Chains A and B, each alone.
Chain A
Amino acid sequence: MATIQALVPRMRDICGAGNVIIDPLELRTYECDGLTSHRCVPALVVLPGSAAEVAEVVALCARAGVPFVARGSGTGLSGGALPHESGVLIVMSRMRAIVEIDPVSRRAVVEPGVTNLAVSKAAAPFGLFYAPDPSSQVVCSVGGNVAENSGGAHCLKNGFTVHHVTGLEIVTPSGELTWLGDGTGVTTGYDLLGAFTGSEGTLGIVTKIVVKLMPVPEVVHLLLVAYSSTAEGGRAVSDIIAAGVLPAAIEMMDALAIEAAEEAVHCNYPAGAGAVLLVELDGPAAEVEAELSTVRALCEAAGATEIQAADDPAERAGIWAGRKSAFAAVGRISPAYIVQDGVVPRTSLGAVLARIAELSAEAGIRVANVFHAGDGNLHPLVLYDDSVPGQAEAAEKVSGAILDACLEHGGSITGEHGVGVDKSRYMPRMFGADDLDTMQLVRCAFDPAGLCNPGKIFPTPRLCGEVPGHRRAPHPAVVAGQAEIFLHGYRTGLGSRGPPGARRRLPVAHRWYCRRRGAGS
């Protein structure tokens, strides 16, 4: 701590006195991101206003050997921006300029604090939009999107952040400003731009982003299809994909998720449905009309009990509100819940949903299912009552078992929320020691000192005095019998699980939603 205090005057010189936070109460407001179960008060918070300031801040940290963590809007759901207790939290929210929009090239240059939706709003007058659309897009930052390689409901057709970023200006963990990528999308040499995107803030800090913009589709159609079960809905999804139709989005919600959404936003989904499917088709009018009739027929053949079509933007927004509110809405039907994020091959959706139902029944823990059915990305919401002893632990167990089920079917432990601190302990279930060791080579190339967002993604033990990173031999402390490596254990060695009730606090992204509803819009 003494070291950190010594940095304060210099930090004030760099960022301005008003942009360096040392007051304990103010520091506390940065103790967590959207995953409120992990909390850690940073030693110092700085809010740089330019790339040059970020570079100076990082260089200062690097010279002093002080860890640093970058934070965007704080909407992440895996604790990727969890501060370090003896480190500097670098908050990017002052860097929110849209530097340039070139409609002919379909490119925008933005600073990292710009919100995702602000890019599309700025591009709209030119008939363009920014495709990645995470549910938190109103508040989440583009810099955070780059760190997490964010997707969204429409990534089924349009891809993820990594497919839409063509240049990054970054500050390396040693404090140097450099560009990755030539801004066009063409790669010369190693694709460091691709490797950096989705590295969860562990390879450096983004200070400028060149993104692709896409032409707004000529037409958009949304179908809301009701089924008596998720199995029937799942069959419709497979049939649509097998027919060679690639919708912009295919989302599914089960009965419990529908109930919650209905209670929260009165979205008027068909009463009594066991599952609803949202299928959005977009593109040239000449193609979409034909696709629409194909999809409608396939949905009917799979046993649809009701189909509603929404063509105008207001109707579509009404239907999407039910889906986008789902995470926050379960707060109305359960005192506490865990948002899980796992992926399975599309063809395993039915089997994994059945397994989730089994796990839920065995444990007596309710699970609401909301998912991106088109790409197999499940978001089971594990509901529990933290006032009942043992329920939090039981819910945690169900949540972990769901990830195991995903892995058994060849899936992934995270489709879009990231590993962060929350899932680093699951990494050894998905990857072997050699795989993780090889990933550490990349870390060592960018951040040999291990100061940039340490303790995230990888389950490496944090031994005293150790520089995290690649090792070719066992750690000296292990050889000496002084330490044990918990590679396959459950320790993240970081932060701490907050009290179970902490989960009741809505993540920032969802608080926005509640406010908007409260305002009557």
Chain B
Amino acid sequence: MPGADGLVPSFVATPSSTAEVSALLREAAAAGLAVVPRGAGTGLAWGAPPSRCDLVVDLRSMDQVVEHEAGDLVARVQAGATIGQLAAAFGSGSGSGQQLALDVPAEATVGGVVATGTAGPRRFRYGAPRDLLIGITVVRADGVVAQAGGKVVKNVAGYDLGKLFAGSQGTLGVITEVAFRLHPLPAAVAWVTAEFGPAERAGAVTAVAAAAGSPLVPSAVELDWPGGSQRPLRIGVLLEGTGPGVAERSRQMSELLAAPGGITSIAETAPARWGVLPSSVTVVRVSFWVSSLGPVLDAVAAAGADTGVRPAVSGPAGAGALYACLDPGTADEDAVRFMTALRERVAGALESGGPRGGVTVLTAPPAVLAACRDGTVPGLALMRAVKDQFDPDHRMFPGRFGGGG
């Protein structure tokens, strides 16, 4: 099914160039068609489903690596190229030894990754797609093609439209080409893990802050808590660098994590469940300042206890974010009750005086999403104004933009 979430589109187009996407969107504008852009579909089902879908623009035919200059550590690629293709073009087997420093599925397209703003554990060090994006080509809802940024890593000419389109989920226009800043692949990697018993939650919290604030330059600081106050917590820290350097830093990191009571181990392969969510049916993101990690974990546990829902919690805690995944069997009304309780508890846990994070439902069954819309996102009125400027008729992925329309 090439459409999305049960809606059958009237048309599915597979353009092979930006010019073709432009022509398609001009036609769609003239006919008033609702447009849903898609890549490999790995993130398509995340978030609210489209309320209308007349034309699906499938970008997988635009899969060229347009330019890769190894000495510049920059690549320009079409939106339909997959992450796996990039790895083949300039990864370890290619002689370049470079990478797009995002932990995302190999089958995902770069356009999809940018549009959804997806990053994995290494978000801690390298950031999200918006941080690695240096240039973008988009086609607007009215078919006009626009570029911003360029192919140099340092550039402040004009508004950074790339930031706006990264994470916009296809609601502002269609991304057709992007330029990324690349990083050298490290010669060596190691994971230092620390297990904390159910009664040692405070120790785990201390360990996350110690790892994240250490000058040992971790690439990721993850927390994994399979759920329920009776389960142990695991901290995972990824270190990248030279062979001897990583060995020494792993030893030092292990000491750091053992100090608050962690049972540590060092491995050259990723621990189980690394960067993988246990379920993608209902996922809630909690963001926070790291100094509030303890109260946030307490809030999750309390919201679970209040409602009888037991979420699995994992994510880049060192970067101030965690994902709570509900069991796929959770009834809609239980999920809504949990979300409501979590929002209240987290709001109480985060200090006021300015935004310190919050709770965002990333994906859930439509009824749950509809019941959990958040009208308190900072800058929502300006977001609506941006949406109205770029897509005045609200035809781009209608229903997905959280601000309505």
Contact = CB atoms under 8 A, between A and B. Distances in A.
B389 A444 contact: yes
A160 B154 contact: yes
Interface stretch (A211-219, A296-304, A321-329, A495-503): A211-219
A180 B378 CA distance: 6
A34 interface: no
Interface string A267-303: 0000000000000000110110011000000000000
Contact of A438 (B146, B378, B402): B146
Nearest to A186: B287
B161 A442 contact: yes
B382 A410 contact: no
A436 interface: yes
B163 A194 contact: yes
A60 interface: no
A171 to B, nearest CB: 12
19 contacts: A103-B213, A178-B378, A181-B355, A186-B321, A189-B379, A194-B160, A195-B159, A195-B163, A198-B156, A199-B159, A215-B215, A284-B245, A286-B244, A286-B248, A375-B152, A376-B153, A430-B157, A434-B144, A457-B158
A234 to B, nearest CB: 11
B56 interface: no
B199 interface: no
A106 interface: yes
A414 B160 contact: no
B242 interface: yes
A48 to B, nearest CB: 19
A196 to B, nearest CB: 9
Given A159-B131, A185-B319, A377 B389 contact: no
Interface stretch (B34-42, B258-266, B288-296): B288-296
Interface residues of A, number: 99
A69 B234 CA distance: 51
Contact of A412 (B155, B164, B353, B377): B155
B167 A191 contact: yes
B52 interface: no
Contact of A104 (B131, B209, B287): B209
Given A184-B320, A345-B72, A439-B148, A106 B245 contact: no
Interface string B325-340: 0000000000000000
A347 B69 contact: yes
Q: Which 8 A-B pairs have the closest CB atoms?
A: A194-B163, A244-B184, A438-B146, A105-B289, A286-B248, A287-B245, A179-B378, A104-B291
B74 interface: yes
B276 interface: no
Given A179-B354, A286-B249, A191 B156 contact: no
Contact of A244 (B127, B150, B187, B214): B187
Interface in A175-229: 176, 178-195, 197-199, 208, 210, 215-218
A188 B158 contact: no
Contact of A416 (B117, B150, B156): B156
Interface in A335-388: 343-347, 372, 375-377
A198 B140 CA distance: 22
A437 B146 contact: yes
Interface residues of B, number: 91
Contact of B217 (A109, A183, A242, A283): A283
A262 B381 CA distance: 54
Interface of B: 69-74, 97, 117, 127-128, 130-131, 138, 140, 144-148, 150-161, 163-164, 166-168, 172, 183-187, 209, 212-217, 241-242, 244-245, 247-249, 252, 285, 287-292, 319-321, 353-358, 360, 374, 377-383, 385-390, 401-403
B157 A412 contact: yes
A378 B353 CA distance: 41
Contacts of A198: 156, 159-160
Interface of A: 100, 102-107, 109, 127-128, 148-149, 151, 155, 159-160, 162-163, 167, 169, 172, 176, 178-195, 197-199, 208, 210, 215-218, 238, 241-242, 244-246, 283-284, 286-287, 290-291, 343-347, 372, 375-377, 410-419, 423, 427, 430-432, 434-439, 441-446, 457, 470
B152 A412 contact: yes
A333 B323 CA distance: 60
B156 A442 contact: no
B158 A106 contact: no
Given A169-B354, A191-B167, A435-B148, A376 B213 contact: no
A192 B245 contact: no
